[in-house]
Amino acid sequence: MDTFSKRKFIIAGIMLGIAAIFILRLFTIQITNKTYKQFATRNVLRKITTFPARGLIYDRNNKLMVYNKAAYDLMIIPREVKSFDTTELCRIVQLERLDLREAIKKAKQFSYYKPSIVVGQISPDIYAPLQEKLYKYPGFFVQSRTLREYPSKSAAQTLGFVGEVNQRIIDEDKYYRSGDYIGVSGLEKAYEKELRGIKGITKSMVDVHNRIKGKYNEGLEDTTAILGQNLMTGLDAELHAYAELLMTNKRGAIVAIEPATGEIILMVSAPTYDPNLLVGRQRSANYNILDRDSLNKPMWNRAVIGRYPPGSTFKLANALIALEEHAITPFDRFSCSGKGSKPISCTHSHVSPLAVREGIRESCNSFFWNAFRQIMNHKSNSAESYQAWRDYITSFGFGQKLNPELSSEVKGSIPEASLYDKWYTPGRWNAMTIRSLAIGQGEIEATPLQMANLCALIANRGYYITPHIVRAIQDTNRVDRQLSFEKKVVNISPEHFNTVIDGMQAVVDETRTLGATVHLDDIIICGKTGTVQNPHGADHSAFVGFAPRDNPKIAVAVFIENAGFGATYAAPVAGLLIEKYLNDSIVPKRKDLEQRLIETDLLNVAVVKKKP
């Protein structure tokens, strides 16, 4: 007799009970709880970014100024790493053991499953041996990248550099992710959107070992990377290199503009650096060195941020205004007593009295004081006259930023009448009070770019085109999209330009020093020197000029800090650049001059001077 028959119910009950618990549990994890579904997509979906090559930058002769070279990042997926020979890996990638350990630790903190960069931007010559040995290091792989390369090693500040995005940029612009690159300065910054292209995203399904198992959603959500657009500039790479050579061991800036188009041919800032220094693994170390050089400030683009009193070069502007306002005629003469002149002494003795042509030639302070006084007395009161003068000056491009593409450009300074009202109270100031402006000193500040622009305006006899570096943007189909620029006509009659240009030609052809250093036999160069008084040290040497006189091809402004007379350094540098640009070579008799300029070391003199 089976007395325990009823126990079958208990056994069956236990079984059904467990099954019921399971079903309840499955109900919660499969239906009520949604978090598992989110976990699941995070598990398998891997977004892989393809980086487009950054756009190239060409010079005016279609010569490459910036291109991309291959570089490689050594990546790590910490989960897959097995023990390996650290010494060998460190030797191959030229890394300290501690740095490697630190990088791996950082990668682990970021994620065990996602790749992180261990060593970024490995050059191809390191990559080759690394690739051969990579099989020994499970969990490591190499991702290809592109790095900027600057073949002419010049125009560093103008071209700018790229760097890794910081957190602020990532927060502001959704396009960027940690580790992306962005233009930090110069053209790289100004044309970031054109140059960077558009990143592509490939969504792949990956397994637990991060191996790609196929496309997600049949690739429907994938986007392909779009190449960056190329910049076609008006820069002359060869001339740039030559200009930088001439500026060796000097501090200053050069800007050259093609007057007819407004294209910037040269934009040199000295001291400069090799732009290739700010690329690749050494970037941050080199950046710190350059950034800390507080004396030379090599990363400053003095051509657009240097605020120099224009000095005597500014007399050209005053001459134009005085003629246009009929404050003087081309034949009005003023006398000069040389160093004894009042209220502004003149630098040297010369013929007297003299009219505007000779005034420009001799850079006569007395003449320009008189001319300026005439302008200031022309209207009913000083403030009104000053305002009229200021309107002319600003129409020449002073006191404003000329082109937003030059991202670091400063306005310079042409004071408002209200400033003098504030300083001297209204009605209590006149030509005498602000006489420094007559000779380009005092409260006015201009950038080398603005001075070059003034020169281009004179060369064009009355107008300038917004100066610009990039003339066209080449899209991915290699079709150029020409950029258009505003033509700005100034309210000065053409005959007045001829008067001033006569004076400028006389500067080069009729004065002793420039006749020897700047004058060319085959091309008429028109120019004006400047010796800029500088309260902080020795005078700055300045020169603006254009050539040829008819149908000018180049207008240039040169500023060399603490170099003394304009005629000594700035003028011959400009002369050589004009000759090089127009004739492609330097005549033998000027080779000595060239050599002397290259070898002149004004930087270290300045350093010595600063020491007590």
Partner 1 sequence: MEKRNNVWANVDWITISIYLAMMFIGWINIYAAVFNEEHKSIFDSTQQYGKQLMWIFAAIFIAVLMINTDSKFFVAFAFPIYGGIILLLALVPFIGTTINGAKSWIQIGNFLLQPSEFMKMATSLALARFISSYNFKMHEYKSLLILSGIILVPVGLIFLQNDTGSAIVFGVFLLVLYREGLNGLVLFFSFLIALVFILTMVLDPYITVITLTVAALVINYLMKKKTRRTLIAAGLFSGIFGVLYLINYFLQWSIDPLYFLLIAAALTSALTFLYAYVLRKRSLMIMIAIYFGSVLFAVSVDYVFHNIMEQHQRDRINELLGIQSDLHGAGYHVNQSKIAIGSGGFFGKGFLQGTQTKFDFVPEQSTDFIFCTVGEEWGFLGTVTVIGLFMGLLMRLIFLAERNRSKFSRVYGYCVATILFFHFAVNIGMTIGLAPVIGIPLPFFSYGGSSLWSFTLLLFVFIRLDASRFEQLSY
Residue 194 tokens read as 């054109």
* Dist. CA 79–CA 104, nearest whole Å: 11
Strands 116-122 and 487-489: unpaired
Question: Which residue among 1, 39, 171, 536 contacts partner 1 (CB under 8 A)?
Answer: 39
* Dist. CA 179–CA 122, nearest whole Å: 15
Residue from 236, 227, 189 nearest 62 by CA: 236
Read off the amino acid at residue 139.
G
Task: Say how many residues touch partner 1, by CB under 8 A.
Answer: 37
Residues 414, 301, 481: CA angle, nearest 5 degrees: 95
Least Å distance between CB 38 and partner 1? 9
Sequence-ordered list of residues with C-beta below 8 angstroms from that of 42, at least 6 positions apart, any chain: none
* Residue 83 within binding range of partner 1, rule CB under 8 A: no
Residues 571-590 that bind partner 1 (CB under 8 A): none
* Residue 8 within binding range of partner 1, rule CB under 8 A: yes
Question: Which residue among 35, 477, 484, 585 contacts partner 1 (CB under 8 A)?
Answer: 35
Strands 57-58 and 230-233: parallel
CA separation, residue 491 to residues 395, 396, 415, 463, 487 (Å): 8, 10, 21, 9, 13
CA atoms within 13 A on the CB side of 564: 7
* Dist. CA 107–CA 119, nearest whole Å: 11
Among the listed ranges 90-98, 202-210, 403-411, 568-576, the one in contact with partner 1 (CB under 8 A) is 202-210
Q: Which is nearer to partner 1, 4 or 331 (CB)?
A: 4
Rg (CA), the chain: 34
Residue from 185, 285, 233 nearest 56 by CA: 233
If you write DSSP's letter for every residue of 101-115 in order, what string do you get? HHHHHHHHHH-SSS-
CA separation, residue 278 to residues 133, 197, 274, 332, 512 (Å): 29, 21, 8, 56, 44
Least Å distance between CB 199 and partner 1? 25
* Residue 47 within binding range of partner 1, rule CB under 8 A: no
Among the listed ranges 11-19, 289-297, 310-318, 593-601, the one in contact with partner 1 (CB under 8 A) is 11-19
* Dist. CA 127–CA 16, nearest whole Å: 63
Question: Which residue among 97, 101, 136, 209 contacts partner 1 (CB under 8 A)?
Answer: 209
* Residue 1 within binding range of partner 1, rule CB under 8 A: no
* Residue 167 within binding range of partner 1, rule CB under 8 A: no
Among the listed ranges 14-22, 270-278, 337-345, 600-608, the one in contact with partner 1 (CB under 8 A) is 14-22
Among the listed ranges 49-57, 203-211, 297-305, 392-400, the one in contact with partner 1 (CB under 8 A) is 203-211
Residue 346 tokens read as 């003149």
The DSSP 8-state label assigned to residue 190 in this structure reads: H
Q: List residues bridging with 202 in a β-sheet.
A: 48
Least Å distance between CB 29 and partner 1? 4
Read off the amino acid at residue 312.
S
CA atoms within 13 A on the CB side of 373: 12
* Residue 220 within binding range of partner 1, rule CB under 8 A: no
* Residue 380 within binding range of partner 1, rule CB under 8 A: no
* Residue 12 within binding range of partner 1, rule CB under 8 A: yes
Among the listed ranges 200-208, 354-362, 520-528, 589-597, the one in contact with partner 1 (CB under 8 A) is 200-208
If you write DSSP's letter for every residue of 262-322 in order, what string do you get? TEEEEEEEES---GGGGSGGGHHHHHHHHHH-TTT-TTS-HHHH--B--GGGGHHHHHHHH
Least Å distance between CB 134 and partner 1? 23
- The pattern of x and - marking residues 313 through 352 that bind partner 1 according to CB under 8 A reads ----------------------------------------
Least Å distance between CB 8 and partner 1? 6
Question: Which residue among 27, 224, 349, 487 contacts partner 1 (CB under 8 A)?
Answer: 27
The answer to whether 555 and 452 have CB atoms below 8 angstroms apart is: yes
* Residue 19 within binding range of partner 1, rule CB under 8 A: yes
* Residue 23 within binding range of partner 1, rule CB under 8 A: yes
Q: Which is nearer to partner 1, 222 or 324 (CB)?
A: 222
* Residue 109 within binding range of partner 1, rule CB under 8 A: no
Among the listed ranges 22-30, 459-467, 468-476, 541-549, the one in contact with partner 1 (CB under 8 A) is 22-30
Question: Which residue among 102, 207, 291, 391 contacts partner 1 (CB under 8 A)?
Answer: 207
* Residue 36 within binding range of partner 1, rule CB under 8 A: yes
Q: Which is nearer to partner 1, 104 or 299 (CB)?
A: 104
First to last CA, the chain: 122
Question: Which residue among 75, 120, 206, 582 contacts partner 1 (CB under 8 A)?
Answer: 206
Question: Which residue among 3, 167, 585, 604 contacts partner 1 (CB under 8 A)?
Answer: 3
Binding residues vs partner 1 (CB under 8 A): 3-5, 7-8, 10-12, 14-16, 18-19, 21-23, 25-27, 29-31, 33, 35-37, 39-40, 43-44, 205-209, 213-214
